[in-house]
Structure 1
Amino acid sequence: MTCVLYDAHGLLGLDDPYSLVTLSRLLANGIVFTALLHWKNLDYRDLFHSSRAATAATMVVIVPLVLLATPCLFLLMGLVNRLLLAEFPMRAGMENEISSWLSAGLPQILLICVIAPVVEEMLFRGIILRSFLQQYERRYAILGSAVVFGFYHMNIYQLVGASLFGIVAGWLYERTRSLIPGIAMHAAVNTSVMLMAANAGAGAAESNSGFLVLLLLPAFPACYMLRRVLSGPGR
């Protein structure tokens, strides 16, 4: 899809490479999901929210708790990333590549904060984890899909953090049978990464740390409440 759009970029006016990647990823995933849903005899409503609980109830009760609890996960992923960087320093070329991807242009914002959370949750929780849960024990299904999600990022710095995220997102899906909480958490994490990258600079570390501490105050009670709300048998 990228090659096709690249050859047609002159006609489409896609001079920005990030616009090209964003559009090609969106179209490619659309083709994949259309084929998979047709093969599995599912529609998009079944994929996004197959739970008996109303979508509105999930949005009103579960999603706010997930968003409030997300700073705990973000902190854990950040600590793991620091440990990895201490043991395996990043190449300068890779640092520049990641910085360019996280620069706050509109195509990157759409790709990282909107498109990626939706399509990745559709694939890794909506398709892969759903299938694993039908074949394997619950904990192995969640762990297996999380590891696949980690390897999908194709670098060691994101592998462990993405796997941790995949475990939490997989638990949310197994409890709720809805992609909506995972998409909300995914979008919150990716947006936080972009905001921290945009604020990088002198004195920004202290500012970001203080803001994270402020967010952690309601995060721990939200984790407790989320665990209580979803502690019953998964539906």
Structure 2
Amino acid sequence: MNWGPVNSDPSVHDSGAGRAARPWWQVARRRFSLIGFALCALLLVWLGLQVLIAALLRMQGVNTGAMPTWLQLIAGNGPLYALAMPIAVLLMRAVPRIPTRKFPLGVGRFFILLIICMPVMYLGSLIGSMLSAALSGGTADNPIQELATNADPLTVLVFMVLVAPVFEEWVFRKELIDRLRRYGEVPAMLVSAAAFGLFHLNLFQFFYAFGLGLVFAYVYLRTSRLRYTILMHMIINFNGGFLAPRILSLLDA
């Protein structure tokens, strides 16, 4: 296992005709900056289009709060999947990938890692809830909990269980890690997990998303197969976003 920076890659010297080769750390800094710029562009495009769509709907006299949940999600997250994420990936292409071999992940190991995700998610959720309550005086609301509780089951299945894991794993695992793993597995894992946590834009989800991001990054680094992290992500979203709220609603009935 390589936990340190990889300096043997000739591309990190960024040499060219008529100019002196730059040291690897300057090239690394430039590439990390490009990745950061791409992630900032993702958020700016996504949030900017959200504001624009909401403004256009208000101009047409549409009450966005009265819209069905599935339509709210299309208006809010449609720009993310259709434009913001593809634009970010296009910007990331300025940072070259490292070709890697693909390895299988056995069923037993898959479920061991999936079980590890459960206490990570619980602890992260607890920390996020406590900090949110402390910073807001107990007035903060968990947006994902409200969505999972109030949305109809089909909407949760489509958006939270099927669509979100595919796009999020594509960007935050494959695109990020393939471009940063040359500088060491730990930096690649940390950047992937931190970006994944910050992408959720609230304290309730940041800590458990960061923890899960570390597990998903480890799985992807060990296999180079996105199917495993997508499946783990889908199972976790199904349990937390679909199954648990419906069990609780039955118990409260």
Partner Cα distance (1:94, 1:15) in 2? 20
Q: Secondary structure at the match of 2:248?
A: coil
TM-score, normalising length: structure 2: 0.60
Partner Cα distance (1:197, 1:179) in 2? 28
TM-score, normalising length: structure 1: 0.64
Task: Work out whether residues 9 and 15 of structure 1, in 8 Å CA contact, stay in contact via their aligned partners in 2.
Answer: no
Partner Cα distance (1:30, 1:185) in 2? 23
Task: Work out whether residues 132 and 145 of structure 1, in 8 Å CA contact, stay in contact via their aligned partners in 2.
Answer: no
Instruction: Say which of 205, 211, 217 aligns to 1:170.
Output: 217
Task: Work out whether residues 63 and 181 of structure 1, in 8 Å CA contact, stay in contact via their aligned partners in 2.
Answer: no
Task: Work out whether residues 123 and 208 of structure 2, in 8 Å CA contact, stay in contact via their aligned partners in 1.
Answer: no
Root-mean-square deviation (Å):
3.5
Partner Cα distance (1:34, 1:72) in 2? 31
Match of 1:21 in 2: 73
Higher Cα radius of gyration: 2
Partner Cα distance (1:201, 1:4) in 2? 33
What displacement does 1:62 show?
3.9
Partner Cα distance (1:161, 1:37) in 2? 24
What displacement does 1:163 show?
0.9
2:168 is aligned with 1:124: no
Structure 1, residues 203-223: CA drift from partner, whole Å, max 9, x if none? Answer: 68xxxxxxxxxxxxxxxxxxx
Structure 1, residues 2-34: CA drift from partner, whole Å, max 9, x if none? Answer: 444964998xxx941433423652454233455
Match of 2:203 in 1: 156
What displacement does 1:152 show?
1.4
Task: Work out whether residues 200 and 206 of structure 2, in 8 Å CA contact, stay in contact via their aligned partners in 1.
Answer: yes
Deviates most, 118-127 or 26-35: 26-35
Alpha carbons of 1:124 and 1:63: their partners in 2 closer, same or farther (altered >3 Å)?
Answer: farther
Superposed counterparts of 1:1-235, under 5 Å: 1-2=49-50, 3-4=52-53, 7=57, 15-22=67-74, 25-26=77-78, 28-32=80-84, 34-35=86-87, 40=93, 52-53=101-102, 58=104, 61-62=105-106, 65-67=109-111, 69-86=113-130, 89=133, 91-92=138-139, 94-95=141-142, 97-103=143-149, 104-105=151-152, 106-134=154-182, 136-194=183-241, 195-200=243-248
Count of paired positions: 187
* Structure 1 segments unaligned to the other structure (5+ residues): 42-46, 205-235
Identify the structure with bigger relative contact order (alpha carbons < 8 Å, sequence gap 6+): 1
Structure 1, residues 152-190: CA drift from partner, whole Å, max 9, x if none? Answer: 112222211111111111111111112111101111111
Alpha carbons of 1:202 and 1:113: their partners in 2 closer, same or farther (altered >3 Å)?
Answer: closer
Partner Cα distance (1:63, 1:25) in 2? 33
